[in-house]
Amino acid sequence: CLFVAFPEVLGIALSGFYLPLFMIIWLFIARAMSIELRHHAGDTLLVEILDVGFVASSLGLPLLLGVALGNVVRGVPLQEREFAIPLFLTPDAVAPVGVLDVFTVGAGLLAVAWSLLHGACFVALRTTHDVAERARDWAMRLPALVLGAWVLGLGLLRTQVPAVWSTLWSRPAALLCLVLAALCLGA
Protein backbone atom coordinates (compact mmCIF):
# COMPACT_ATOMS: atom_id res chain seq x y z
CA CYS A 1 0.00 0.00 0.00
CA LEU A 2 2.88 2.36 0.84
CA PHE A 3 4.60 1.68 -2.48
CA VAL A 4 1.40 2.13 -4.51
CA ALA A 5 0.63 5.42 -2.81
CA PHE A 6 4.23 6.61 -3.12
CA PRO A 7 5.75 5.34 -6.38
CA GLU A 8 8.88 7.42 -5.84
CA VAL A 9 9.52 5.50 -2.60
CA LEU A 10 9.23 2.25 -4.55
CA GLY A 11 11.68 3.47 -7.18
CA ILE A 12 14.18 4.68 -4.61
CA ALA A 13 13.93 1.57 -2.40
CA LEU A 14 14.21 -0.91 -5.27
CA SER A 15 17.18 0.85 -6.80
CA GLY A 16 19.00 1.09 -3.49
CA PHE A 17 18.44 -2.46 -2.29
CA TYR A 18 18.55 -4.07 -5.73
CA LEU A 19 21.28 -6.63 -4.97
CA PRO A 20 20.04 -7.59 -1.48
CA LEU A 21 16.47 -8.02 -2.78
CA PHE A 22 17.66 -10.30 -5.54
CA MET A 23 19.75 -12.28 -3.04
CA ILE A 24 16.57 -12.83 -0.99
CA ILE A 25 14.70 -13.98 -4.11
CA TRP A 26 17.54 -16.36 -4.98
CA LEU A 27 17.40 -17.84 -1.48
CA PHE A 28 13.64 -18.39 -1.78
CA ILE A 29 14.22 -20.13 -5.12
CA ALA A 30 17.05 -22.28 -3.72
CA ARG A 31 14.90 -23.27 -0.76
CA ALA A 32 11.96 -24.29 -2.95
CA MET A 33 14.19 -26.18 -5.39
CA SER A 34 15.87 -28.06 -2.54
CA ILE A 35 12.52 -29.21 -1.22
CA GLU A 36 11.14 -30.20 -4.62
CA LEU A 37 14.23 -31.83 -6.13
CA ARG A 38 14.97 -33.84 -3.00
CA HIS A 39 12.01 -36.10 -3.73
CA HIS A 40 13.11 -36.66 -7.33
CA ALA A 41 16.77 -37.40 -6.58
CA GLY A 42 17.70 -41.05 -6.52
CA ASP A 43 21.30 -40.66 -5.40
CA THR A 44 21.89 -40.29 -1.64
CA LEU A 45 24.76 -37.85 -2.22
CA LEU A 46 22.49 -35.57 -4.22
CA VAL A 47 19.84 -35.78 -1.49
CA GLU A 48 22.44 -34.73 1.10
CA ILE A 49 23.60 -31.84 -1.10
CA LEU A 50 20.00 -30.69 -1.47
CA ASP A 51 19.51 -30.95 2.31
CA VAL A 52 22.58 -28.74 2.84
CA GLY A 53 21.17 -26.30 0.27
CA PHE A 54 17.86 -26.22 2.12
CA VAL A 55 19.54 -25.50 5.47
CA ALA A 56 21.86 -22.86 3.97
CA SER A 57 19.04 -21.04 2.22
CA SER A 58 16.83 -21.31 5.30
CA LEU A 59 19.55 -19.69 7.42
CA GLY A 60 20.40 -17.14 4.73
CA LEU A 61 16.88 -15.74 4.57
CA PRO A 62 16.65 -14.51 8.17
CA LEU A 63 20.25 -13.32 7.92
CA LEU A 64 19.52 -11.12 4.90
CA LEU A 65 16.16 -9.95 6.23
CA GLY A 66 17.82 -9.06 9.54
CA VAL A 67 20.52 -7.16 7.66
CA ALA A 68 17.79 -5.27 5.79
CA LEU A 69 16.05 -4.43 9.07
CA GLY A 70 19.39 -3.32 10.51
CA ASN A 71 19.82 -0.98 7.56
CA VAL A 72 16.38 0.50 8.14
CA VAL A 73 17.08 0.99 11.86
CA ARG A 74 20.51 2.49 11.18
CA GLY A 75 19.16 4.70 8.44
CA VAL A 76 20.08 4.85 4.80
CA PRO A 77 21.61 7.82 3.03
CA LEU A 78 19.17 9.49 0.67
CA GLN A 79 20.15 12.02 -1.92
CA GLU A 80 18.03 13.90 -4.40
CA ARG A 81 15.69 11.10 -5.67
CA GLU A 82 18.55 8.65 -5.48
CA PHE A 83 19.59 5.98 -3.05
CA ALA A 84 22.45 3.65 -3.68
CA ILE A 85 24.91 2.25 -1.20
CA PRO A 86 27.55 -0.37 -1.94
CA LEU A 87 27.34 -3.88 -0.53
CA PHE A 88 30.14 -3.12 1.92
CA LEU A 89 32.48 -0.21 2.26
CA THR A 90 33.64 0.21 5.85
CA PRO A 91 33.51 -2.23 8.77
CA ASP A 92 31.73 0.26 11.01
CA ALA A 93 28.62 2.35 10.58
CA VAL A 94 30.32 5.69 9.99
CA ALA A 95 29.82 7.54 6.73
CA PRO A 96 30.14 6.38 4.04
CA VAL A 97 28.27 3.21 4.91
CA GLY A 98 27.61 0.00 3.03
CA VAL A 99 24.77 -2.49 3.26
CA LEU A 100 26.97 -4.80 5.36
CA ASP A 101 28.66 -3.36 8.42
CA VAL A 102 29.09 -4.47 12.04
CA PHE A 103 25.63 -3.31 13.12
CA THR A 104 23.65 -4.70 10.17
CA VAL A 105 25.43 -8.08 10.24
CA GLY A 106 24.77 -8.20 14.00
CA ALA A 107 21.08 -7.56 13.32
CA GLY A 108 21.14 -10.38 10.78
CA LEU A 109 22.74 -12.78 13.26
CA LEU A 110 20.13 -11.83 15.86
CA ALA A 111 17.42 -12.68 13.32
CA VAL A 112 19.08 -16.07 12.70
CA ALA A 113 19.22 -16.77 16.45
CA TRP A 114 15.51 -15.88 16.83
CA SER A 115 14.66 -18.13 13.88
CA LEU A 116 16.62 -21.05 15.33
CA LEU A 117 14.85 -20.66 18.67
CA HIS A 118 11.46 -20.45 16.98
CA GLY A 119 12.21 -23.53 14.86
CA ALA A 120 13.40 -25.55 17.85
CA CYS A 121 10.24 -24.72 19.81
CA PHE A 122 8.05 -25.59 16.83
CA VAL A 123 9.76 -28.94 16.25
CA ALA A 124 9.61 -29.75 19.97
CA LEU A 125 5.85 -29.17 19.96
CA ARG A 126 5.10 -31.01 16.71
CA THR A 127 7.21 -34.16 17.01
CA THR A 128 7.69 -37.06 19.42
CA HIS A 129 10.43 -39.31 20.77
CA ASP A 130 14.10 -38.59 19.94
CA VAL A 131 13.47 -35.68 17.59
CA ALA A 132 11.32 -33.91 20.18
CA GLU A 133 13.94 -34.49 22.88
CA ARG A 134 16.74 -33.03 20.75
CA ALA A 135 14.54 -30.08 19.81
CA ARG A 136 13.67 -29.48 23.48
CA ASP A 137 17.37 -29.53 24.36
CA TRP A 138 18.04 -26.91 21.68
CA ALA A 139 15.02 -24.88 22.77
CA MET A 140 16.41 -24.81 26.31
CA ARG A 141 19.91 -23.76 25.20
CA LEU A 142 19.03 -21.17 22.55
CA PRO A 143 17.38 -18.49 24.75
CA ALA A 144 20.78 -17.71 26.28
CA LEU A 145 22.20 -17.23 22.77
CA VAL A 146 19.27 -15.03 21.74
CA LEU A 147 19.53 -12.96 24.92
CA GLY A 148 23.27 -12.52 24.42
CA ALA A 149 22.78 -11.53 20.79
CA TRP A 150 20.01 -9.11 21.78
CA VAL A 151 22.18 -7.43 24.45
CA LEU A 152 25.09 -7.30 22.00
CA GLY A 153 22.75 -5.78 19.41
CA LEU A 154 21.64 -3.10 21.85
CA GLY A 155 25.29 -2.36 22.61
CA LEU A 156 26.08 -2.12 18.89
CA LEU A 157 23.08 0.15 18.48
CA ARG A 158 24.47 2.42 21.18
CA THR A 159 27.98 2.58 19.71
CA GLN A 160 27.25 2.42 15.99
CA VAL A 161 24.01 4.43 15.82
CA PRO A 162 24.02 6.80 18.82
CA ALA A 163 21.23 8.98 17.37
CA VAL A 164 18.72 6.17 17.97
CA TRP A 165 19.30 6.19 21.73
CA SER A 166 19.14 9.97 22.00
CA THR A 167 15.75 10.08 20.26
CA LEU A 168 14.33 6.88 21.78
CA TRP A 169 13.07 8.58 24.95
CA SER A 170 11.16 11.18 22.93
CA ARG A 171 9.30 8.50 20.96
CA PRO A 172 6.98 6.47 23.19
CA ALA A 173 5.95 4.06 20.41
CA ALA A 174 9.58 3.06 19.82
CA LEU A 175 10.13 2.64 23.55
CA LEU A 176 7.00 0.51 23.74
CA CYS A 177 8.35 -1.72 20.94
CA LEU A 178 11.62 -2.16 22.83
CA VAL A 179 9.75 -3.10 26.03
CA LEU A 180 7.50 -5.52 24.10
CA ALA A 181 10.55 -7.16 22.52
CA ALA A 182 12.07 -7.62 25.98
CA LEU A 183 8.81 -9.11 27.29
CA CYS A 184 8.62 -11.50 24.32
CA LEU A 185 12.19 -12.57 24.95
CA GLY A 186 11.36 -13.19 28.59
CA ALA A 187 8.27 -15.18 27.72
Q: What is the mean pLDDT of residues 135-145?
A: 92
pTM given for the model: 0.79
**Pairwise CA distance, residues 59 & 174, whole Å:** 28
Indicate the residue type of 125.
L
**Pairwise CA distance, residues 143 & 118, whole Å:** 10
Phi/psi of residue 131, nearest 5 degrees: -65, -45
**Which of helix, strand or coil describes residue 5?**
helix
Q: Residues 80-125: pLDDT tens digits? A: 666 666 666 655 555 666 677 888 888 999 999 999 999 999 999 9
Band of pLDDT at residue 75, cut at 50, 70 and 90: confident
More confident residue, 26 or 183: 26
First to last CA, the chain: 33
HSE toward the beta carbon, residue 143, CA cutoff 13 A: 11
Q: Residues 7-64: pLDDT tens digits? A: 777 777 777 777 778 889 999 999 999 999 988 888 889 899 999 999 999 999 999 9
